């Protein structure tokens, strides 16, 4: 898989992502003038295109990580990034008429549930717990400085 993804990652530079977004910025108004896209749909489509470019870039960066490194990335920021992406795309798809507000809310709730389950599974499978347990302080609080940072 790395042999397949590495050339794509090397081609898909930040400059090319900007160029692809610029093409979308130029084409969408043209498509609107031709009657293919409604004026009100241009901004949601730009949000979706930008989000897709960012997700693809992120996935390609993960191509060289080990499973444990990818699990750590997911726990430390990946889960939040994916949920944030859903938070942008769901309203955009609602604005475009592909989702009703209730469907968008259900999709975000499902995404949240799936990400929580994935986080628990990845933590159990790939993240090594600290060998030092938390210590109770005299005041009843716990010293968690030795626990792993998630």
pLDDT bucket at 145, cuts 50 / 70 / 90: low
What's the token pair of residue 145?
């400085």
**63 versus 89: which is more confidently predicted?**
89
d(CA 103, CA 3): 38
Instruction: Indicate whether 70 pLDDT > 70.
Output: yes
**10 versus 115: which is more confidently predicted?**
115
Whole-number Cα distances in Å, 26 to 19, 29, 32, 82, 90: 10, 6, 11, 27, 24
d(CA 57, CA 21): 13
Q: 71 and 125 in contact (C-beta within 8 Å)?
A: yes
d(CA 52, CA 89): 9
pLDDT bucket at 143, cuts 50 / 70 / 90: low
d(CA 104, CA 42): 19
The confidence score (pLDDT) of residue 138 equals 76
Which residues are CB-neighbours of 54 under 8 A, at least 6 positions away?
A: 17, 85
**Mean pLDDT score across all residues of the chain:** 82
Q: 60 and 7 in contact (C-beta within 8 Å)?
A: no
d(CA 71, CA 54): 19
- pTM of the predicted model over 0.85: no
The confidence score (pLDDT) of residue 34 equals 93
Across the range 35-61, mean pLDDT stands at 86
Alpha helices of the chain — where are they, by DSSP H? 2-11, 14-33, 42-61, 67-73, 79-95, 101-126
The confidence score (pLDDT) of residue 144 equals 58
């Amino acid at each position: 898989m790395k042999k397949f993804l590495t050339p794509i990652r090397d081609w898909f530079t930040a400059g090319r992502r900007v160029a692809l977004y610029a093409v979308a910025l130029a084409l969408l108004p043209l498509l609107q003038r031709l009657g293919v896209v409604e004026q009100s749909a241009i901004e949601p489509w730009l949000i979706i295109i930008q989000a897709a470019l960012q997700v693809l870039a992120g996935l390609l960066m993960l191509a060289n990580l080990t499973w444990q490194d990818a699990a750590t990335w997911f726990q430390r920021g990946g889960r939040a990034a994916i949920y944030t992406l859903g938070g942008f795309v769901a309203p955009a798809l609602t604005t475009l008429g592909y989702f009703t507000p209730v469907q968008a809310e259900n999709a975000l709730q499902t995404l949240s549930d799936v990400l929580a389950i994935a986080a628990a599974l990845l933590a159990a499978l790939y993240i090594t717990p600290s060998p030092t347990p938390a210590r109770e302080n005299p005041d009843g609080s716990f010293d968690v400085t030795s626990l792993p940072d998630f």
